[in-house]
Structure 1
Amino acid sequence: MAVYFLSDFGTADVYAGVVRAVLLRRAPGATLVDLAHDLPAGDIPHAAVQLYAAVPHLEPGGVVLAVVDPGVGGVRRALAVRGERLWYVLPDNGLLTLASELDPPQAAWALEPARYTDGPVSATFHGRDVFAPAAAHLAQGMPPEALGEPVDPEGLVRLSLWTAEGDEGEVVTFDRFGNAITNLRPRERPEEAHVVGRRLPFRDTFADVAEGEAVAYIGSSGLVELAIRGGSLREAFRLLEGAAVNLHGPEEEPPPLEIG
């Protein structure tokens, strides 16, 4: 069975590698796929967007091990969740908010490490001691009931994020190129997008505008993204998460687009 591993552990330290080692030691027949490990540290909304983008491409029946856990050692729950297509092992901190729109949770269990591992549990490294052994358990086809008590999947923590098929949304996060990722998922391609008083034409790809020009497009995850060809829209527009984005235009004529 495939295990898909997403984290903010980075690659400069051993954390991600140790989690991989624990998982493969416990489930030697598993196929381990690294989705990403250089996510912004503790940025749950960003991780939620990345998980949303990945889920449609993962093999049904696989296990998603997602560890972006700024609340590690606190009161947040550790969960195993069964979706319609995939299993998820992760902290209950909103990571599933967007992915659950694509793969609705059907059942969930609160992880109790004493039930499935006999080693010590670090207060600061649940990725190694709590989540990896649970993911290995599921990857071997073992029953989730052995991991802990069932909990209501309707009670999972949700961020104030959602995908919107209408004309109004917001910037959720940015990729490493400075492109803005919104929560807008239009059914048809609009003519333009508006953010912080700027009008951006909708195009199919960056190549459809000149170097240094701003553009809106449907990203590979199906969400509207905003970018500058060859530059960082985040820096050029001084844009922040939560900035309003609309696809129908401002009430007044916007000022000319000036970049820089």
Structure 2
Amino acid sequence: MVVALLTDFGTKDHYVGVVKGKILCGLDPSQYPVFVDITHEIPPQDVLKGALTLFFAYKYFPKGTIFLCVVDPGVGTERKAIILQTEEHTFVGPDNGLFSFIIKNEPIKACFEIDKEKVLEPPYSSTFHARDLFAPAVARLIKGEDLRSFAKELSKDELVVLSLPEVVETEDGLLVPVIDVDRFGNLITALHQSACLRRFKVLVNDKEVPCVPSYGYAKKDELIALFGSEGFLEIAVREGSAYERLGIPKVKIVWIG
């Protein structure tokens, strides 16, 4: 069993280790999972960044993986604690939009709200649900307990889903919003290569930039466009930061012919 973790906890403090330890405390040693850290460097409280990072990562994990995802500015409030099941994976975390792109892109087999009264054990903290609520729920999933023994079923329509800026069609092409900035300063847009079935050129702040297969085809410090590893159009600078150079620019696709 694989448990993949994604949080905004960082790695300087004890939080991540404690969550893993709490999961193990609920299990027999023969049931211990393999822990994989997707990242713990989501900017604090940045639910959208967490949702995008999860979306880019989850498909590379084996069937049966449990994803424990916690970017939770509403911890301790009435926001729901949820479990989502798809055909291949299970997702555990707060109902605050963190699973938006899973909900939008995967058939959801079942949704549940964790019953806090059946999972929380005193003493517990209203500020550390990752340890006191989500980790015990994950342990119970690993043990194969019936979800209905500690959670109640929800409708998918009840879940919080974030909205992203969308690609907009124009007379001669597409206006393409930037939705993310990675650690290299690459600007990741909402345009997937599957939408580009015609020849096109890329304009950044109304100036054409070359579209290349990979970074190595550009000169050092050259501004370029390319489709990144997840298939989304990116604006980048070879061995530099497009974000530092441009901020969030206007990006446009113009059809040719």
User: TM-score, normalising length from structure 1?
Assistant: 0.87
Structure 2 counterparts to residues 1-260 of structure 1, below 5 A: 1-27=1-27, 28=29, 29-161=32-164, 167-187=174-194, 188=196, 191-239=200-248, 244-248=250-254
2: CA distance, partners of 1:185 / 1:76: 32
Distance 1:13 1:198, change over 3 A: farther
Amino acid across the alignment from 1:184: L
Distance 1:195 1:157, change over 3 A: farther
Distance 1:206 1:96, change over 3 A: same
Aligned-residue offset at 1:140: 2.1
Q: Secondary structure at the match of 1:105?
A: coil
- CA deviations 1:134-185 (Å, max 9, x no partner) are 1121122222112221111122111112776974431112111111112211
Q: Secondary structure at the match of 2:21?
A: helix
Aligned-residue offset at 1:103: 2.4
Query: Do the aligned partners of 1:46 and 1:174 also contact (CA within 8 Å) in 2?
Result: no
Query: Do the aligned partners of 2:176 and 2:190 also contact (CA within 8 Å) in 1?
Result: yes
- CA deviations 1:8-34 (Å, max 9, x no partner) are 100011111111111122234211111
Query: Do the aligned partners of 1:164 and 1:186 also contact (CA within 8 Å) in 2?
Result: no
2: CA distance, partners of 1:165 / 1:138: 42
Distance 1:119 1:206, change over 3 A: same
1: CA distance, partners of 2:168 / 2:146: 37
1: CA distance, partners of 2:147 / 2:175: 40
Aligned-residue offset at 1:117: 4.1
Aligned-residue offset at 1:77: 1.1
Distance 1:79 1:186, change over 3 A: same
Query: Do the aligned partners of 1:168 and 1:184 also contact (CA within 8 Å) in 2?
Result: no
Mean Cα displacement is larger for which, 187-196 or 69-78? 187-196
1: CA distance, partners of 2:129 / 2:207: 44
2: CA distance, partners of 1:24 / 1:198: 55
| Structure 1: tracts of 5 or more residues without a match | 250-260
1: CA distance, partners of 2:166 / 2:21: 36
